[in-house]
Amino acid sequence: MRGDRRLFRGLDLSLSPGTYVQLTGPNGSGKTSLLRILCRLLEPAEGEIRWEGANIRSLGEDYFTAVTYLGHRPGVKDELSALENLTIANAVNGVEVDTENASGALQTMGLAGRERLPARFLSEGQRRRVALARLLVSNTRLWLLDEVLTSLDKRAVGLVRSLIEEHLNRGGIAIVATHQELELSAGVTKRLELTT
Amino acid sequence: MRGDRRLFRGLDLSLSPGTYVQLTGPNGSGKTSLLRILCRLLEPAEGEIRWEGANIRSLGEDYFTAVTYLGHRPGVKDELSALENLTIANAVNGVEVDTENASGALQTMGLAGRERLPARFLSEGQRRRVALARLLVSNTRLWLLDEVLTSLDKRAVGLVRSLIEEHLNRGGIAIVATHQELELSAGVTKRLELTT
Amino acid sequence: MKLYKYASPAMFYPVAGKMIPWFAIPAALLFAVGLYVGFFVAPTDFQQGDAYRIMFIHVPAAWMGMFLYVLMAIYAGIGWAFNARLSSMMASAIAVTGAMFTLLSLVTGAFWGKPTWGTWWAWDARMTSTLILLFLYAGFIALQAAIDDPRRADRAGAVLAIVGVINVPIIYFSVQWWNTLHQGATIRLLGKPSIAAPMLTALLIMLAACWLYSVAIVLVRLRCIILEREQNASRLAEVNA
Amino acid sequence: MLRWIVWRDLILAWRRRSDILSTVFFFVIVVSLFPLGIGPETQLLRSIAPGVVWVAALLASMLSLGRLFANDYQDGTLEQLLLTPQPLFLVVLGKVLAHWIIAELPLVLIAPLVGVQFDLSKQTLWVLFVSLLLGTPILSLIGSVGAGLTLGLRGGGVLISILILPLYVPALIFGAGAVEATIIGVTPAPNLYLLGAFAVVSLLFAPWAASAALRISLE
Amino acid sequence: MLRWIVWRDLILAWRRRSDILSTVFFFVIVVSLFPLGIGPETQLLRSIAPGVVWVAALLASMLSLGRLFANDYQDGTLEQLLLTPQPLFLVVLGKVLAHWIIAELPLVLIAPLVGVQFDLSKQTLWVLFVSLLLGTPILSLIGSVGAGLTLGLRGGGVLISILILPLYVPALIFGAGAVEATIIGVTPAPNLYLLGAFAVVSLLFAPWAASAALRISLE
Ligand code: HEM
Ligand SMILES: Nc1ncnc2c1ncn2[C@@H]1O[C@H](COP(=O)(O)OP(=O)(O)OP(=O)(O)O)[C@@H](O)[C@H]1O
Ligand SMILES: Nc1ncnc2c1ncn2[C@@H]1O[C@H](COP(=O)(O)OP(=O)(O)OP(=O)(O)O)[C@@H](O)[C@H]1O
Ligand SMILES: [Mg+2]
Ligand SMILES: [Mg+2]
């Protein structure tokens, strides 16, 4: 990603591989909106976003092979088991993951023994873990994570931290909107504070 | 409240005025369920809850004059302004609050100037503040607050803390389910940790 | 209280298992006898020929459909009022059987109507109210299927069944009245011809067979429901342990 | 406090006037689909008019019932209503009353206009109006039970309809029957009396059943 | 990947079989309401049968359309579908196809049975079946646009109906017209051809419009 500007805040930023951006700011300061602009769910009122030099609008659907976005809502279907959720979500994305890999990822996320339980029997925190397991099996380079620590207990927060660290070590970029601090030991950390 | 037991956890507890109970535990450990049992939204599988010596089931609707419950969802109507939300919620409860008091409460919650804005234009944190303003104008003695710090920034967390402190000083009881710590300088703090 | 002990689903499960043959075997025997008497002993009707023999299935099925709805509502109501899980499960088990009998009476009625009235269906009062009864069963079953939590499903079903049972007589009479308002029915049901003795015997035997069959099948279904719920519960408990 | 609940729902409805209009439009559109599907013979249309208008009213009210508790449920207000110091069935009654004013009354008022499309006589239009005035409270009342039972369930829209449409049958028969009677020149009185009696029965049982349903759904 | 989207929706529907049954029952119930409102004369009923069955199909499909994107929207899956590396209209097409299989095909199959209740002849039933087979894809396709536009709006249920029912009118006229023609002994062919043409036009435009609608709703 090379440049981004936002009308009512005047934001200009370029990120190199291995960067972690911590997006903070009081409620309603525009964290979610910024992330949604970055994954083209919203159009910026002005300015443009470039990925590897090209405007993301001109990249079309190809851009999405490089991006994973996790929003406020976990995107986990109640009727499907954790395993089905993971494999089908990836298959729809064009990445077919075999059952073994998928259940490996779920085990890493601390869901061992619950892979085949319909997601409606999982607690809120466990559902978020299913969503996070997608980060383990995907090979995208830009992660956009919105309030990813919501309703996670301490163990899970530690897991997310190490996930992001590995991602940065592989040269990925992660932009995370959060109210809680996340101290990373790898990569370059940038703090971006939005104000109302 | 005098006594409460819960089948799958064996919980027995009696609280005196001025007590603050911090309810913690990993996801899915039953915090929400416990609070909902305490305000009769759920039936306990076994055991009973007493309020001033009487079983809350036998108290009927009168029990609700003593209790305020704030759940996961703020209970704020998008179409109404902050002010209307507050006054109508109270009127339905049988407590008629005049506009002045109500806007005073909203100002205390840091919503000055936004009282007449429909709530759908408020950010998530501001909507929660509207819900919290109910604590200011109500005169109930038992507060049951579920994840009340969700999506609040630091200033708002401080506000909630002082609200609860005042409530305890007036002899109220507060039971708060939360993942974040809330250090109080008033009242008796009890920690209740649920395990899965 | 011995009875109370058996009111627990886990305790009732083996008991139900033992009871099933005691109902299933007589049901099979009575079906065989009833069908034999109905189709070979009973005389041919002078008006309708042999078509009337469908009555031996149609009439018991129609009766069972109506009785079972009331029974279901009673069980559901008891289950709700006294928090008796077994009773609620019984209601769920009855619902499917009742719906099946109602459907059977509709289908046999239609097959009967074709040769006698020359049409599969007419908006006759009894037919229409049977159809609505089927809808009521469908609502009950759909509601329970849509709710994941079995306890909540039981109670929601109970409310619906009770509201339905209050409504059934109103519906029945309104439909009755509706049809006779517009026209003197062009075609009447058989009315009450003096039925030959073998006919009556066959009808009563078939009715008894249907009752026994209902008890047996409801018990089978009840066992499935108990098993399914226990399994779900133990699966969850296992995972949460 | 009942007053405040009704008042609250009326304000909310006023802020979303478009919903009210949508229900009315739905009613008008459904009624107008029939001449399109059936053909333009006046005689035929007149004889089916009572049935069509009444069925359309049933469907319109059923659709709007999906929202009776759903919005309050989603934003957590319904929990708060359950925790008010007053019997739950009063809360339900207040919401049903508001629903009737918001969603059914407009239908009652517009129905005679719609009836004109079917070339009904003045007297028939009048009976149509009265039958709907008596009958629509039944729809709101019985519907509240279905709305309570299906709260928070997926596929609620279709589900609520198969729960309550069969229960609407008597209202439909008496209501449409009254109009039909007028068309063929018989007195509609017995039908209207029966409709009124059914309304009273609903008023006695429905709020109670609906509050039970709400409690169950919110557990 | 289209395959996977269809597959996913079919699994989901299978897990909630009762939704499918509910739609079918809704259809049957609505059809049965009309005789109750109109009266039991066979002759009259036969002449309104095509209109009634088609209108009921319209309403049933409209109700089930509310769920086309709504569930995915609520749990955040729809956002994820928008971010898959493939054209959005393919995603929409997959979901519409699944919707047709789940919600419309059962109606098409049950319709002849319902037609029997109205004492239609064998040939008429056959034409009814074919007209629905040709016409229901139109309902799913056009409906997807409405479903996309009303996503996340309150009162979506009623709103979607006033948006798309008017667009359904051609399908209704040609479809019911074909059956009507058979009843009065004319060939239904022209109506069926027109219905087919309309289906092709919908197939060309609707997925595109629906994806635009989705993008707007998710902003
Ligand atoms: C689908 C169509 C039909 C349905 C839903 C239906 C429904 C019923 C029901 C509910 C009953 C029991 C009602 C009572 O005892 O009051 C019944 C009884 C009976 N039905 Fe039908 N019926 C249908 C068609 C027919 C036809 C076509 C015939 C014969 C021409 C027929 C002959 C009878 C007879 C003889 C009885 C016993 C009457 C009595 O003992 O009171 N039904 N049917
Ligand atoms: N759909 C919308 N319509 C109008 N205003 C909106 C809309 N969505 C967001 N806003 C406004 O844009 C601003 C930024 O919202 P955004 O959701 O990006 O905040 P945030 O920083 O993510 O807040 P939070 O910490 O609550 O998640 C807020 O002031 C909000 O009022
Ligand atoms: N409606 C329900 N049906 C079945 N199980 C449920 C239901 N509600 C809660 N549970 C189960 O009860 C347990 C306790 O849930 P509860 O919501 O009380 O947890 P919590 O401690 O509030 O969690 P969180 O931190 O996510 O808010 C969970 O394991 C959950 O799976
Ligand atoms: Mg945000
Ligand atoms: Mg909780």
From D37, D50, D162, residue closest to E172, measured CB to CB: D37
- pLDDT exceeds 60 at position C25: yes
Domain count, chain D: 1
Nearest to B153 by CA among A175, A180, A8: A180
Structure-model confidence comparison of residues E173 and B124, the more confident one: E173
Tell me whether residue C12 is in a domain.
Answer: no
Per-residue pLDDT of chain B (196 residues; tens, 9 = 90+): 444 444 455 566 777 788 888 888 776 677 888 888 888 888 777 777 888 877 888 887 888 888 899 887 778 888 888 888 888 888 888 788 888 888 888 888 888 888 888 887 787 778 888 989 988 888 888 999 987 887 777 888 888 888 899 898 888 899 998 877 777 777 777 787 777 6
- Residue E160 to residue E143: CA distance in whole angstroms: 8
Q: Does A121 touch chain C (CB under 8 A)?
A: yes
What is the rounded distance in angstroms from the CA atom of residue D72 to the CA atom of residue D78? 5
Which of A29, A42, A43, A147 for mutating ligand 2's site (highest number of atoms within 8 Å of CB)? A29
**CA B10 to ligand 3 center in whole angstroms:** 17
Residue C95 lies in a domain: yes
- Cβ <8 Å between A41 and E81: no
Check residue A2 and give its pLDDT.
42
Q: Whose CA is nearest to atom 25 of ligand 1?
A: C109
Nearest CA to ligand 2 atom 28: A28
pLDDT of residue A10: 60
ipTM of the complex: 0.83
Residue-number span of the structural domain to which C112 is assigned: 24-39+48-234
Instruction: Tell me if C205 is assigned to some domain.
Output: yes
Tally of residues, chain A: 196
Q: Is the pLDDT of residue E106 over 70?
A: yes
Tell me which range, A26-35, A180-189, D56-65, D146-155, is most confidently predicted by mean pLDDT: D56-65
Q: Which residues of B touch D75 (CB under 8 A)?
A: 73-78
Q: In C, which residues are within 8 Å of A117 by CB distance?
A: 235-236, 239
Contact across the interface for C239 and A113, Cβ inside 8 Å: yes
Residue D32, chain E, CB below 8 Å: the answer is no
C60 lines ligand 1 (CB under 6 A): no
Number of structural domains chain C divides into: 1
With 60 as the cut, is the pLDDT of residue C182 above it? no
Q: Quickly list DSSP for A127-176.
A: HHHHHHHHHHH---SEEEEESTTTT--HHHHHHHHHHHHHHHHTT-EEEE
**Residues of chain A found within 8 Å of residue B123, distances taken between Cβ atoms:** 27-28
Token output for E134: 């040709």
For residue D15, give its domain range. Answer: 2-218
- Please check whether residue D57 is in contact with residue D107, taking contact to mean a CB–CB distance below 8 angstroms: yes
| Cβ neighbours of residue A151 closer than 8 Å, sequence gap 6 or more | A124, A125, A128, B27, B179
**Does residue C157 lie in a domain region?**
yes
pLDDT tens digits, A43-98: 777 777 888 777 887 887 888 888 889 887 778 888 888 888 888 888 888 788 88
Ligand 3 pocket, C149 CB below 6 A? yes
In a domain, C134, yes or no: yes
Alpha carbon distance A143, C103 (integer Å): 56
Q: What is the pLDDT of residues E61-102, one digit of tens each?
A: 888 887 888 888 877 888 888 888 888 889 999 999 999 999
The pLDDT of D144-171, averaged and rounded, is: 87
CA-wise closest residue to D80 among B49, B99, B41: B41
Query: Distance from the CA of E12 to the center of ligand 1, in angstroms?
Result: 40
Cα B3 to Cα B63, C152, D77, E42, distances in angstroms: 15, 27, 29, 69
* E125, two tokens: 């039933």
